[in-house]
Amino acid sequence: MIQTARAITLAILVAAGCAAGAGAQTAQSLFAARATPSPHGAHPVGQHARGCLAGGVQLPESGPTWQAMRLGRNHNWGHPEMIAFVEDLSRSATRVGWKGLYVGDISQARGGPVKGHASHQIGLDVDIWFTPPPRLDLSRREREQLSAIDVRSADQRHVNGNWTKSHEALLRAAALDPRVNRIFVTAPAKLAMCADAGANDRAWLGKIRPWWGHNDHFHVRLNCPAGAAGCVMPDPVPAGDGCQDAVWWVTEALEPPDPNAPKPKPKPPLRLADLPPQCGEVLSAR
């Protein structure tokens, strides 16, 4: 476990250095520059959307039932519990007719803010492509060029022909895993699963949550591992199957915005000082 007093001191020193010579640097740029994990025991620090990862473990680029995609990003690092989850889910995929999984971003080597994501900061989030792998021997170049399939219709209200029962079975398997806190999907996929689920098999649907930008992959968020002091547990999902609430996403949410409504102010990028103080040590440790 990271020593808090030492971490606070190092965080202050790192922050002071940034202020003196690299004040314009964001936490994202600082963590992106660290290509290898910190020499600590594996430990998620802070919140999924405001934290870092000590002692990250790398998902192997390829395994018997998975391939990590977009290797050039170096985003296939996570907490050991996440790595084990990915490997377990990839084996579950073979039981629903898939060869395995194409795995997108997990976290950076030391976590922290990640380009293109609001979360993925503590090694407990992963993106899984909706593409059933036709093969698991893709070259590095192919992994950079291949795109994930879209399962949402052009009008954004329904699933398209790419959506299958096997997608539903895979998501059900993920949701039933007690390590999983919630899973983000495109709203039409949520509603398709709501329509297909039986009256006595709906509890798992509560973990499936609609969110923007998840029409070609699903995003799995794990709970904090047992005994992970300093990891902030995400909120539990609301009670119920969430199916009625999901209707909003394909109705009112798609209506044109009010042209007279004030535009929301963009959030400033996170700085190192915005993260838990232990992240200073994670960033600076060698």
Residues 144, 139: Cα–Cα separation, whole Å: 9
Q: Which residues of 207-223 are buried (b: 16+ CB within 10 A; e: fewer)?
A: bbbbbeebbbbbbbbbb
Instruction: Determine the pLDDT at residue 127.
Output: 98
Residue 24 has what pLDDT?
Answer: 57
Q: Which pLDDT belongs to residue 17? A: 41
Question: What pLDDT shows up at residue 188?
Answer: 98
- Structural domains of the chain sorted by starting position, each given as residue range(s) with its CATH number in brackets: 56-255 (3.30.1380.10)
Reference 176, options 214, 220, 228, 131; nearest CA is: 220
Q: What is the mean pLDDT of the chain?
A: 92
Structure tokens at 244: 């009625």
Q: What is the pLDDT of residue 2?
A: 54
* pLDDT digit string (tens) for the chain, length 286 residues: 555 444 444 443 444 444 333 445 899 999 999 999 999 999 999 999 999 999 999 999 999 999 999 999 999 999 999 999 999 999 999 999 999 999 999 999 999 999 999 999 999 999 999 999 999 999 999 999 999 999 999 999 999 999 999 999 999 999 999 999 999 999 999 999 999 998 889 999 999 999 999 999 999 999 999 999 999 999 999 999 999 999 999 999 999 988 888 888 888 999 999 999 999 999 999 9
Full-model pTM: 0.91
Among the listed residues 5, 68, 80, 4, the one whose alpha carbon sits nearest the alpha carbon of residue 44: 80
241 closest CA partner among 184, 273, 202, 196: 202
Q: Dihedrals φ, ψ of 26, to 5°?
A: -95, 165
pLDDT for 198: 87
Buried b / exposed e along 55-80 (16+ C-beta atoms within 10 A): bbbebeeebebbbbbbbebbbbbbbe
